[in-house]
């Protein structure tokens, strides 16, 4: 019988640490429910001690899902552990993930602690956490740059204190597969009690080795792989869990491992996380990239026509991609729309269907052909109920200035709190630049545009445009997104969405409307 490998997803914690990504509670719950459908075993829902909002989101995720275990990260101190206890109190199937750095550079430069102090702190906190949780994961941060003897010592001591999972992460993407195998083999052989716990790997991709190192860990007897869908996360990101899952399934003949992952849910999960985080999927990315199942070479095309297995080691359908086609028309009704969503694997309630159907009708009036990607975009970009949507972009008029190079924009923005319409005027070297300056002027708000991207959702000249923006206020980044056939309207709405996220995170912020 093949050995079971468990999947630990940290998209909601390490993934959220991607610069510019900030997930609200509703978005975290939406992603968690999708991860549950994917078959993830453990969801790291956040860092409860980071803020009251993060603690509330951790609790909301834990209450929303039923199958995966939900954990929260905690540093090796009692205050962090208490925050996790408070967030997850009275919620079943939950645990805690405690960590402390163990490498010489972290001990000496960051923690200013000796080996003895690190061990003492780790043991004390794991013992304390074990009083509250039966599932206690412990991580040696920067394990791959830690002395093997010390790594085994810390592991043995925390197992004695009550740790049930030992994670030895490649925190900075430094190691090689051979070194990672050696490390896990040494610790498992030299730490007393190692046979009684689950070992886990957590690989970053700084040198492009995250998948290779994770698979090497599995070959060394590790039975839990940690990472993020689409490989997002700090710096160059984490291992892409969908790549590990697809590899273990496609090469089951070699690795002889079982997982609980439903590969047919990969495409939907990947697309949802891309939309919510605003991080585009590179076209050449393994498993989920647009080109992953595309064939342009004549030789390749000839082979695929004769037998797909000549150049496809897995099928698009095996990871959840469906052929894009015209599915609905201008005269289609609400039930037809609901049925198509169900065929695509989406569950939609009556109220949500009502709102989406309104947008669908508006889209059908403006687009000749409506594709699956179009209706998925309508559903997945529904306004967040948990956002404080103070402002809604209404309309804009544009003028080309006499120099024929610059634009003047007159924008109207509705204040949803009192129903008033705010007017703003801006001038810029293009229509979007002018609109954004008009919004800034109208709201009297000081933010800086950091990134602006636009892409088409489906095929054709009348394709929906999807716009993502990132704005900066102080040291904080906020993202916004919007879709529309009119890319000018989509651009303005995405900017307003980012501003709403900025406003929703501010306490006692007064915005003066001119």
DSSP assignment of 261-296 equals --GGGHHHHHHHHHHHHT-PPPTT-TTTSTTTT---
**Taking residues 116-125, what's their average pLDDT?**
98
Least confident of 25-29, 140-144, 183-187: 25-29
Backbone angles phi, psi at 389, to 5 degrees: -85, 80
CA 210, CA 276: separation in Å to the nearest integer?
A: 24
| pLDDT score recorded for residue 347 | 77
| Better pLDDT: 398 or 131 | 131
In this chain, the answer to whether the domains covering 3-277 and 391-505 adopt an identical fold is no
More confident residue, 387 or 506: 506
Strand pairing report for 6-9 and 42-46: parallel
With tokens 């929703």, the residue in question is: 504
Task: Show the 3-state SS of 224-242.
Answer: EEEEEHHHCCCCCCECEHH
Report residue 308 as tokens: 């797909």
pLDDT at 325: 53
Residue 304 pLDDT grade (very low, low, confident, very high; cuts 50, 70, 90): low
pLDDT at 513 over 50: no
Q: Which token pair is 401?
A: 């200035």
E-strand spans in 282-335?
Answer: 326-328
* DSSP category for residue 55: H
Torsion angle of the four alpha carbons 226, 39, 376, 471, in this order, in degrees rounded to the nearest 10: -20
Pick 218 or 294 by higher pLDDT. 218
Least confident of 268-272, 401-405, 452-456: 401-405
Determine the pLDDT at residue 11. 97
DSSP 470-513: EEEETTEEEEEEEEESSHHHHHHHHHHHHHHHHHHH-SS-----
Is the distance from CB of 479 to CB of 232 less than 8 angstroms?
Answer: no
Residue 298 has pLDDT above 70, yes or no: no
Average model confidence (pLDDT) across the chain:
90
Say whether pLDDT at 508 is over 70: no
Give CA–CA dist 78/267, Å, rounded.
40
Domain edges within the chain? 3-277, 326-380, 391-505
Structure tokens at 211: 């998948």
Decide which of 25 and 1 is more confident: 25
108-115: Cβ within 8 A, 24+ apart: 115/150
Please state the rounded mean pLDDT for residues 147-174.
98
The pLDDT assigned to 381 comes to: 67
Query: Is the confidence at residue 246, as pLDDT, over 50?
Result: yes
| Architecture in CATH for domain 391-505 | 2-Layer Sandwich (3.30)
Phi, psi of 480 (to 5 degrees): -145, 155
What class is the 3-277 domain? alpha beta
């Amino acid at each position: 019988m093949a050995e079971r490998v468990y999947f630990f997803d940290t998209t909601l914690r390490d993934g959220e640490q991607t610069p510019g990504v900030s997930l609200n509670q509703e978005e975290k719950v939406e992603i968690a429910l999708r991860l549950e459908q994917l078959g993830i075993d453990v969801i790291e829902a956040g860092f409860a001690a980071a803020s009251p909002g993060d603690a509330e989101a951790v609790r909301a995720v834990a209450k929303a899902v039923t199958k995966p275990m939900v954990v929260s990260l905690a540093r090796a101190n009692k205050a962090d552990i208490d925050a996790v206890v408070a967030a997850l109190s009275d919620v079943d199937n939950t645990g805690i993930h405690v960590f402390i750095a163990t490498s010489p550079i972290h001990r000496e430069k960051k923690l200013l602690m000796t080996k003895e102090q690190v061990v003492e702190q780790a043991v004390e906190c794991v013992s304390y956490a074990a009083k509250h949780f039966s599932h206690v994961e412990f991580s040696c941060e920067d394990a791959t740059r830690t002395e093997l003897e010390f790594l085994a010592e810390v592991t043995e001591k925390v197992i004695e204190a009550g740790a049930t999972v030992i994670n030895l992460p490649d925190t900075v993407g430094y190691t090689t597969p051979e070194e990672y195998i050696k490390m896990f083999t040494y610790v498992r052989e030299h730490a007393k009690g190692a046979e009684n716990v689950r070992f886990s790997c957590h690989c970053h991709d700084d040198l492009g080795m995250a998948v290779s190192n994770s698979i090497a860990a599995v070959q060394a007897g590790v039975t839990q792989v940690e990472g993020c869908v689409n490989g997002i996360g700090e710096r160059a990101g984490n291992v892409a869990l969908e790549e590990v899952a697809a590899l273990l399934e496609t090469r089951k003949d070699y690795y002889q491992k079982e997982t609980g992952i439903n590969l047919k849910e990969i495409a939907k999960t990947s697309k949802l996380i891309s939309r919510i985080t605003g991080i585009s999927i590179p076209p050449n990315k393994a498993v989920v990239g647009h080109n992953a199942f595309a064939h342009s070479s004549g030789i390749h095309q000839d082979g695929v026509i004769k037998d797909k297995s000549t150049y496809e080691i897995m099928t698009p359908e095996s990871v959840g991609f469906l052929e894009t086609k015209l599915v609905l028309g201008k005269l289609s009704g609400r039930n037809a729309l609901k049925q198509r969503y169900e065929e695509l694997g989406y569950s939609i309630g009556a109220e949500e269907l009502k709102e989406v159907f309104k947008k669908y009708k508006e889209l059908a009036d403006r687009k000749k052909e409506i594709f699956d990607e179009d209706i998925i975009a309508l559903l997945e970009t529904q306004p967040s109920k948990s956002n404080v949507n103070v402002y809604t972009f209404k309309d804009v008029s544009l003028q080309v200035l006499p120099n024929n190079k610059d634009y003047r924009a007159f924008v109207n923005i509705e204040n949803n709190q009192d129903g008033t319409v705010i007017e703003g005027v801006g001038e810029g070297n293009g229509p979007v630049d002018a609109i954004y300056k008009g919004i800034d002027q109208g709201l009297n708000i000081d933010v800086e545009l950091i990134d602006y991207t636009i892409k088409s959702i489906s095929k054709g000249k009348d394709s929906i445009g999807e716009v993502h923006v990132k704005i900066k206020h102080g040291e904080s980044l906020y993202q916004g997104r919007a879709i529309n056939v009119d890319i000018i309207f989509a651009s303005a709405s995405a900017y307003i969405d980012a501003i709403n996220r900025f406003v929703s995170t501010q306490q006692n912020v007064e915005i003066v409307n001119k």
